[in-house]
Amino acid sequence: MKNEPLTDTSDREILQTRVFDAPRDLVWQMLTDPNHINQWWGPKGFTNTIHEMDVKPGGVWRFVMHGPDGTNYQNKNVYTRIEKPRLLAFEHVSGPNFFCTITLDDDAGKTRLDFRMVFPTAEERDRTVRTFGAVEGLTQTLGRLGDKLKLEQDPSPPFVISRTFDAPRDLVWDAWTHRDQLMQWFGPKGFVMEFAKLDFRPGGMFLYKQKGPDGKAMWGKFAFLDIQKPNRLVWINCFSDENANVTRHFLHETWPLELLTTVTFEEDAGKTTVTVQWRPLNPTEIERQTFDTNHDSMRMGWGGTFDRLEEYL
């Protein structure tokens, strides 16, 4: 196996540096745990499906990056050096070819990250910048890492609710992942889903319209980030209009615009425990307070939704 270059590469590299207000061990985890890197790697609007991630010299990291336009980009990296928690290096072998070296230095509890991509020639570097927007893409990727680190260190407790259903996991999974089934039960008691469109894939979306007991209609959407059948779903949850544009809560002007939603499915003796976790994404202080003080109403809403799912199952 080749080793990453050691000579002067300034004419054929892309280098960006960030200082994150987070401990180095946490940043290392964001880079090496597939459940974490899956949620931020890539430019804005991109999502990933990881098929393999073996973080050791000679190990393979293989994943598909899903673009916002529906294009899928196959990626394969081979790790060349691992020095936990300071250095992570790999070769991108699925075209364009380049070496990547990520170094993490502790700075009084913060972490300085140097991200260096080295190409075989200056021409190849320039072509990649022109064709793939590599510089701006890396800028957005590191920005998403910063957002993820803030979320992981959010001192506010997430909202969590669980229910055990007397049904096998595959049956419960299907109820959460098929349009016609979701229309039968999803939403608080008294709500009727009148319209739903489901594109079930990382980067896809569930757009729906519900009518409440008072006859008022509301739109909402899930923007899927991660799908691990039959164990885990992750999406960004928000209110929307009929064109899937993000809107404010129709009753709470200070409700967070977006919520990171994680749903897990655990089977035991033919029964399935579903756990839903909500966290606000990049909330303002007033949005955080609104979220923190409304756990009881969220518990009522999700309790009613779980009741409907139980009846449906």
Backbone phi, psi, residue 36, to 5°: -95, -50
How do the pLDDT tens digits run along the chain, 313 residues long? Answer: 455 445 678 899 999 999 999 999 999 999 999 988 988 999 988 888 888 999 999 999 999 998 888 889 999 999 999 999 999 999 999 988 999 999 999 999 999 999 999 999 999 999 999 998 999 999 999 999 998 998 888 777 899 999 999 999 999 999 999 999 999 999 999 999 999 999 998 889 999 999 999 999 999 999 998 898 999 999 999 999 999 999 998 888 999 999 999 999 999 999 999 999 999 988 899 999 999 999 999 999 999 999 999 999 9
Report domain extents, the chain.
10-152, 159-312
Gap between the Cα atoms of 145 and 30, Å rounded: 8
Classify 10-152 by CATH class: alpha beta
**DSSP assigned state of 7:** S
Secondary structure of residue 67 in the 3-state scheme:
coil
Dihedral through CA 148, CA 172, CA 265, CA 48, nearest 10?
-40
d(CA 149, CA 18): 13
Rounded to 10°, the helix 134-152/122-132 angle is: 70
Domain with residues 159-312, CATH architecture:
2-Layer Sandwich (3.30)
Domains 10-152 and 159-312 share a fold: yes
Q: What pTM, to 2 d.p., does this model score?
A: 0.74
